[in-house]
Structure 1
Amino acid sequence: MLQFINDLPEHVVGIHAIGEVTKEDYDKVLVPRLEDLAKRQGEINYLIVLETNVQNFALGTWFQDLKLALKHFTKWKKVAIVTDQHSIEWTASNIVNYLLPGHSKGFSLDKLDEAVKWIAE
């Protein structure tokens, strides 16, 4: 399931992922919010808190991720991935920076406040 994270600045989309994440979650929750942000701000600052294993994401969500990344390729400013999955945290800090323009950074769950501060700057 994907849920919005409230109390973030208007130039940031925050999503909390828990349990099973379906393509419908992406289509109804994430995609409209990111589309709106890209239209309003001309850039994307995206915070995702993963409190589920990435294996709980349906295959269709990965395709949706790729479509969003390519559609708004030049608009990605910051991506913060907050998780206790060390491989995902490492990937965010070391590999995603080479795949998308802008900056990405991984944070552990106990550093959520630091992630929010970084993404909001």
Structure 2
Amino acid sequence: MLTIIPDLPDHIFGVRASGEVTKDDLQQVLLPGLEKQSEQYKEIYYLLVLETDVQNFTAGAWIQDLIAGIKHLTEWKKIAIVTDQQAVEKFTDIFSYISPGEAKGYKLSELPIAIGWLSHKA
């Protein structure tokens, strides 16, 4: 399930992933949120708090995620992935080298630090 994280600075769109994440979650929560950020700010500062294993994302969810990434390719400014899954955190740091924006991985205990990093516009 994806839920929007409330009380973030306006230019940051954040979601929390828990349990199983499906294609419908991405179509009903993630894609509309990214679209709104894109229309309003012309750039995307994105926070994902990953409280579930990446294996809990269905194949349809991964396809929708890929579509969103490509659709907004030039608008990504900063992406913070917050998780205690070390492999995901390391992948996020490596992904920063090939993505148009910056990407950083943080531990769940570092959520306030991740929000602080996203708060500063690139």
Taking the aligned partners of 2:98 and 2:55, their CA distance within structure 1 comes to: 21
- Equivalent position of 2:70 in the other structure: 70
- Equivalent position of 1:42 in the other structure: 42
Taking the aligned partners of 1:17 and 1:120, their CA distance within structure 2 comes to: 21
Q: Which secondary structure does the structure 2 equivalent of 1:9 belong to?
A: coil
Structure 1 unaligned blocks of 5 or more: none
Q: Does 1:91 align with 2:103?
A: no
- Equivalent position of 2:13 in the other structure: 13
Deviations 1:5-29 (A, max 9, x none): 0010111101000001111000001
Deviations 1:57-77 (A, max 9, x none): 010111111111111111000
Taking the aligned partners of 2:20 and 2:72, their CA distance within structure 1 comes to: 26
Q: Which secondary structure does the structure 2 equivalent of 1:99 belong to?
A: coil
TM-score, length of structure 1 as denominator length: 0.97
Taking the aligned partners of 1:37 and 1:76, their CA distance within structure 2 comes to: 10
AA in 2 matched with 1:119 = L
- Equivalent position of 1:117 in the other structure: 116
Extract structure 1 runs of 4+ deviating beyond 6 A. Answer: none
- Equivalent position of 2:105 in the other structure: 106
Percentage of pairs with the same residue: 49
Taking the aligned partners of 1:106 and 1:18, their CA distance within structure 2 comes to: 17
Number of equivalent positions: 120
- Equivalent position of 1:79 in the other structure: 79
Taking the aligned partners of 1:4 and 1:106, their CA distance within structure 2 comes to: 19
Deviations 1:23-70 (A, max 9, x none): 100000110010110111000000000000000001011111111111
